[in-house]
Structure 1
Amino acid sequence: MTDLTHARPDVEGETESRLAFTRTAIELVDRLWAMHGPLMFHQSGGCCDGSSPMCYQEGEFKTGGQDVRLGTLELPPLPGGSPAPREIGFWMSREQFGVWAHTHLTIDAVPGRGSGFSLEAPEGQRFLIRSTLLGAR
């Protein structure tokens, strides 16, 4: 897959990114940021809504010791917005991370309706994770 933006690795001891976003996902992130301000992602790994990465306003989903921050998506400022670069954390439940610890995750956006409280729900697109084994890319 080309046109990927790799997130800064945040898992302790890791130097290689295990998380990337497609151009389509970045375009959706840009729209959501313009509407809602700073964002964050969380992947719970549960059924139904937990099967997709959920996008929230930063701080709207409370994280804690049960979560792992996999990476931080670093994006340039939006035109006409704050001149500061944008940083978007991507969190996963520690239990789910144990299952997916050997995978590289690519966040994409596809046609459809987002789930639950995820900010993209009314936008006609939803975030989707595609995974590959680390080292198999």
Structure 2
Amino acid sequence: MGERVTRVELTEAAEHLVRTLAERHGPVMFHQSGGCCDGSAPMCYPRGEFRVGGSDVLLGHVAGDTPFWMSADQYAYWRHTHLTVDVVPGRGSGFSLEGPEGVRFLIRSQVFTDEQWARLAAEPPLPTGADTAE
């Protein structure tokens, strides 16, 4: 089998911001919950300061080695979409690292094509928090 279908990526602006945040705070991670408030916005935390749950799903790595996690419930809704993390002016209501910068991360989604969906169906399941020590 070849390379996995990419499930999540960053815009150029988001990648630049992630690298800036990592320079200031050390390695970072993303987590997208399905909770209230900014539950549909990806949150960026210093790696190790957010505890990933056993059922959280690792969608992939962005900006080099930055893990992007999603809660199992949210993944159940979005498993059929490719996610692009962008950055826009404004403040979110969470504890995400970009808040003091006057910007917030935002998800843009696009449904996978039939070809991508067929490839995804042939891939092994994504790792979960129970499978990894990140």
TM bracket (short chain) = 0.7 to 0.9
Q: Give the CA deviation at 1:115.
A: 2.7
More strand as a share of residues: 1
**Deviation for aligned residue 1:103:** 0.4
Q: Normalization by structure 1: what TM-score? A: 0.77
Kept in 1: contact 2:41–2:105 (CA 8 A):
yes
Q: Which residue of 2 aligns with 1:44?
A: 33
Matched with 2:113 is 135
Bigger relative contact order, structure 1 or 2, given CA contacts below 8 A and separation 6+? 2
Q: Which residue of 2 aligns with 1:20?
A: 9
User: Could you tell me which amino acid in structure 2 is paired with residue 89 of structure 1?
Assistant: P
Q: Which of these residues, 55, 59, 66, is aligned with residue 70 of structure 1?
A: 59
Answer whether contact 1:66 1:94 (CA < 8 A) is retained: yes
Stretches of 4+ moved more than 6 A in 1? none
Whether 1:123 and 2:101 are equivalent positions in the alignment is: yes
Name whichever structure is richer in helix by fraction: 2
What percent identity do the matched residue pairs reach? 59
Which amino acid in structure 1 is aligned with residue 19 of structure 2? D
- How many angstroms does 1:74 deviate by? 4.3
For structure 2, the residue ranges without an aligned partner over 5 or more in a row are 117-134
In structure 1, the gaps of 5 or more residues are 1-13, 76-86
Q: Which amino acid aligns with 2:95?
A: F
Distance 1:72 1:30 in 2: 13
What's the secondary structure of 2:54's corresponding residue? coil
Q: Deviations over 1:69-123 (max 9, x none)?
A: 0001143xxxxxxxxxxx1000000111011110000000001113321000110
Which residue of structure 2 lines up, in the alignment, with residue 96 of structure 1?
74
Matches of 1:29 and 1:115 in 2, distance apart? 18
TM-score scaled by length of structure 2? 0.79
Aligned length: 114
Q: Give 3-state SS (helix, strand or coil) of 2:38's partner.
A: helix
Task: Provide the secondary structure at the position in 2 that maps to 1:89.
Answer: strand
Q: CA RMSD in A?
A: 1.9
Mapped contact 1:114–1:122 kept (Cα < 8 A): no
